[in-house]
Amino acid sequence: MTAFTEIKDRADAALCRTYTRYPVGVRSALGSRIRDFDGREYIDLLAGIAVTGVGHCNPEVGAAISGQLRKLVHVSNLFYQEEQVLLAERLAATSHCSRAFFCNSGAEANEAAVKLARRYFRKVRKQDRYEIITLTHCFHGRTLAALAATAQERLQDGFEPMPPGFRQVESGNISALKAALRPESAAVLLEVVQGEGGVRPLDADYLRSVAALCREKGLLFIADEVQAGLCRTGKWWSFQHHGLEPDIFTTAKALANGLPMGAMLCTEEAAQGFDYGSHATTFGGGALCSAAALAVLEIMKRDRLDERAARLGAWARERFAVVSARFPGKIREVRGLGLFMGIELGFPGKAVWERLLEKGFILNLTQERVLRLLPALNIEEADLEAFAAALEETLAETGA
């Protein structure tokens, strides 16, 4: 078997320089365990960035994939396929939205949402409205339109010009949103819990005001559920915590437990924005990924992973608060919703993150100070307890 250092050198030579990777080569993974090239086992609190929601190499999803592999993989969207239709119906049953467009990633799902919003105003309402308003600290993906929506200078640097038609306002500030509205404003696009931005759940009153303002001014309300959706926050979709009904929402990450799949869901009214031929994708909604996603939804529903995420997340945040109380100043805030959790340190967290990795815990550091936890929804409580103990030990060792 190839050694880790050799693969690392070959990766540096053969791959584009886009990722600063963790110093871990992964050989295999099962449930909430990852095994590296030397056979060392880690507790995985990241789940492939909120992707393997029902655990690595989930056997039921694996059985659905291998069964489908022998039946039908791909014929394109020129044909009717039962797996895709079933998936659209099952997704529709989880929310107020009744129509789906399938694609291959979160960014693509957001692209579809932006295109639908623009075309809805042009063709259905006969209005020249196209501008999408987003919030500071948001993240909507890396294609040019998704990057324009994300509007972070650091991510856009060197890639200008950005496509026009996007405007950003301060998150949490309803007056700023009101002041930003123009005749050309078409939609507000937001994450109910901002993920890459540092695990920031938006305020309930603010969210309700945004939805009400959209209704009053005739804008579409779009929720990006790519990270927060599919039971992670304790509800099927995070907007359901606040009784909101967005006209459009997007999903991806956990949808097919690691196979690439995204979807845009919308109401019957918003769906009028697309007509036959308006938008397309070669791979989107293929039978293989659809079969995997059907298995994922079945497991989430049967095992009530929404309720489990709510319960376990509440327990974990209380446990982290106990750690926080032991080290005043070292932890600034413990926040999140369900199993979408952030622990903001009072100092840059690279050393703490490295120490936790050495101790065998995989998690993510975002915004320099926020330890982000996105474990599988079926992770054992004991794994979260082990992490809490390791965090306690690490903070005791760390001088900052």
Q: Would you tell me which residues interact with ligand PLP (CB under 6 A)?
A: 105-107, 110, 139-141, 191, 195-196, 224, 226-227, 252-253
CB-nearer residue toward ligand PLP: 377 or 391: 377
Task: Closer to ligand PLP by CB, 147 or 331: give it.
Answer: 147
Q: For residue 343, what are the β-bridge partners?
A: 334, 371
Shortest Cβ 226–ligand PLP spacing (Å): 4
φ and ψ of 25, to 5 deg:
-105, 125
Question: Of 251 and 324, which CB lies nearer to ligand PLP in the complex structure?
Answer: 251
Least distance (Å) from ligand PLP to the CB of residue 323? 26
**Number of CB atoms found within 10 A of residue 323's CB:** 21
Separate counts of helices (H) and strands (E) for the chain: 14, 17
One-letter amino acid at 397 equals: E
- CB-wise, 141 or 313, nearer to ligand PLP? 141
| Number of CB atoms found within 10 A of residue 67's CB | 11
Comparison of 196 and 247: residue with beta carbon closer to ligand PLP: 196
Q: Which amino acid is at 334?
A: V
CA distance from start to end of the chain = 40
Q: Minimum Å distance from CB 230 to ligand PLP?
A: 12
Q: Which is nearer to ligand PLP, 87 or 189 (CB)?
A: 189
Task: Provide the residue count of the chain.
Answer: 400
Q: Which is nearer to ligand PLP, 141 or 258 (CB)?
A: 141
Give the rounded distance of the alpha carbon of 118 from its chain centre: 23
- What are the φ/ψ torsions at residue 329 (nearest 5 degrees)? 95, -30
* Consecutive H or E run containing 148: helix 144-150
Query: DSSP labels for 68-88?
Result: HHTT-----TTS--HHHHHHH
Q: How far is the CB of 174 from ligand PLP (least distance, A)?
A: 21
CA distance 400 to 397: 9
Residue 358 main-chain phi, psi, to 5 deg? -60, -35
What's the min distance (Å) between Cβ of 127 and ligand PLP?
Answer: 27
Q: How far is the CB of 28 from ligand PLP (least distance, A)?
A: 23
Looking at the DSSP bridge assignments, the partners of residue 344 are: 333, 370
Q: Tell the smallest beta-carbon distance from residue 262 to ligand PLP (Å).
A: 6
- State the nearest-atom distance from the C-beta of 146 to ligand PLP, in Å: 7
334-347 as b/e: b if 16+ CB within 10 A: bbbbbbbbbbbbee
CA angle 391–393–398, rounded 5-degree value: 90
Helices (H), the chain: 4-14, 47-50, 59-69, 82-92, 106-119, 144-150, 153-156, 174-180, 204-217, 268-271, 287-302, 305-326, 350-358, 381-397
Rounded least distance, CB 296 to ligand PLP, Å:
16
**Closest to ligand PLP by CB, 224 or 333:** 224
**Which single residue brings its beta carbon nearest to ligand PLP?**
106
- Whole-number minimum distance, CB 116 to ligand PLP, in Å? 16
In terms of CB distance, is 44 or 391 closer to ligand PLP? 44
Distances (CA, A) of 161 to 1, 40, 158, 184: 46, 45, 9, 20
Q: How many CB atoms lie within 10 A of CB 314?
A: 15
Residue with tokens 């972070």: 152
Q: Is the Cβ of residue 84 or residue 364 nearer to ligand PLP in the bound state?
A: 364
